[in-house]
Amino acid sequence: MGIGITHLGSGSRGNATLISSGEYNVLVDCGFSLRQTEKRLRIAGFEPESIDSIVVTHHHKDHSGSALNASKKWSSVLHCNGGTASRMGLLEGEFAEFG
Protein backbone atom coordinates (compact mmCIF):
# COMPACT_ATOMS: atom_id res chain seq x y z
CA MET A 1 0.00 0.00 0.00
CA GLY A 2 1.21 3.51 -0.78
CA ILE A 3 0.88 6.68 1.17
CA GLY A 4 -2.56 8.24 1.41
CA ILE A 5 -3.25 11.90 2.04
CA THR A 6 -6.70 12.87 3.28
CA HIS A 7 -7.60 16.51 3.84
CA LEU A 8 -10.05 16.65 6.72
CA GLY A 9 -10.57 20.38 6.30
CA SER A 10 -8.83 23.69 5.89
CA GLY A 11 -9.89 27.18 6.85
CA SER A 12 -10.13 29.68 9.65
CA ARG A 13 -12.21 27.26 11.76
CA GLY A 14 -9.61 24.52 11.62
CA ASN A 15 -7.03 22.62 9.64
CA ALA A 16 -6.21 18.92 9.62
CA THR A 17 -4.63 16.54 7.12
CA LEU A 18 -4.18 12.81 7.61
CA ILE A 19 -1.18 11.01 6.13
CA SER A 20 -1.58 7.24 6.22
CA SER A 21 0.66 4.41 5.08
CA GLY A 22 -1.40 1.42 6.13
CA GLU A 23 1.02 0.93 9.01
CA TYR A 24 1.09 4.44 10.48
CA ASN A 25 -1.40 7.30 10.64
CA VAL A 26 -0.08 10.82 11.16
CA LEU A 27 -2.36 13.80 11.62
CA VAL A 28 -0.79 17.06 10.46
CA ASP A 29 -2.42 19.84 12.47
CA CYS A 30 -5.42 19.37 14.71
CA GLY A 31 -7.22 22.69 14.66
CA PHE A 32 -10.84 21.62 14.80
CA SER A 33 -12.56 20.80 18.08
CA LEU A 34 -11.84 17.30 19.34
CA ARG A 35 -15.40 16.23 18.59
CA GLN A 36 -15.26 17.66 15.05
CA THR A 37 -11.85 16.08 14.38
CA GLU A 38 -13.11 12.67 15.50
CA LYS A 39 -16.20 13.04 13.32
CA ARG A 40 -14.10 13.97 10.28
CA LEU A 41 -11.70 11.07 10.86
CA ARG A 42 -14.58 8.59 11.06
CA ILE A 43 -16.17 9.98 7.89
CA ALA A 44 -12.80 9.42 6.19
CA GLY A 45 -12.80 5.81 7.44
CA PHE A 46 -10.34 6.10 10.34
CA GLU A 47 -10.87 5.57 14.04
CA PRO A 48 -9.35 8.42 16.07
CA GLU A 49 -7.46 5.92 18.23
CA SER A 50 -5.60 4.77 15.10
CA ILE A 51 -3.69 8.07 14.97
CA ASP A 52 -0.07 7.33 15.92
CA SER A 53 1.25 10.89 15.85
CA ILE A 54 0.02 14.46 15.63
CA VAL A 55 2.34 17.03 14.07
CA VAL A 56 1.51 20.67 14.81
CA THR A 57 3.00 23.03 12.23
CA HIS A 58 2.55 26.18 14.34
CA HIS A 59 0.69 27.50 17.38
CA HIS A 60 -2.29 29.26 15.77
CA LYS A 61 -5.54 27.81 17.15
CA ASP A 62 -6.80 26.80 13.71
CA HIS A 63 -3.81 24.42 13.51
CA SER A 64 -3.28 23.44 17.15
CA GLY A 65 -6.70 23.83 18.80
CA SER A 66 -7.37 20.29 20.05
CA ALA A 67 -3.93 18.73 19.50
CA LEU A 68 -3.05 18.26 23.17
CA ASN A 69 -6.45 16.85 24.14
CA ALA A 70 -6.45 14.57 21.10
CA SER A 71 -2.95 13.27 21.78
CA LYS A 72 -3.87 12.45 25.37
CA LYS A 73 -7.22 10.84 24.52
CA TRP A 74 -5.85 8.77 21.62
CA SER A 75 -2.43 8.04 23.19
CA SER A 76 -0.78 9.67 20.16
CA VAL A 77 2.64 11.31 20.21
CA LEU A 78 2.40 15.09 19.81
CA HIS A 79 5.21 16.62 17.74
CA CYS A 80 6.03 20.33 17.49
CA ASN A 81 8.99 22.65 17.81
CA GLY A 82 9.91 24.34 21.08
CA GLY A 83 8.47 27.73 20.13
CA THR A 84 5.13 26.21 19.20
CA ALA A 85 5.07 24.17 22.40
CA SER A 86 5.76 27.28 24.46
CA ARG A 87 3.02 29.28 22.76
CA MET A 88 0.59 26.39 23.21
CA GLY A 89 1.43 26.27 26.92
CA LEU A 90 2.69 22.69 26.74
CA LEU A 91 4.72 21.26 29.57
CA GLU A 92 7.86 19.18 29.16
CA GLY A 93 6.80 15.62 28.46
CA GLU A 94 3.56 16.61 26.70
CA PHE A 95 5.24 16.82 23.29
CA ALA A 96 8.17 15.50 21.24
CA GLU A 97 10.27 18.39 19.97
CA PHE A 98 11.54 18.75 16.42
CA GLY A 99 13.17 21.60 14.52
- pLDDT per position as a tens digit, 37-62: 999 999 999 999 999 999 999 999 99
Domain boundaries, the chain: 4-97
Answer yes or no: are the C-beta atoms of 4 and 19 closer than 8 Å. Answer: yes
Report the C-alpha gap between 1 and 97 in whole angstroms: 29
Residue 79 CA to residue 70 CA, distance in Å, equals: 12
Strand partners for 14? 11
Reported as a pLDDT band with limits 50, 70 and 90, residue 1 is: low
Does domain 4-97 fall under CATH 3.60.15.10? My reply is yes
pTM for this model (two decimals): 0.93
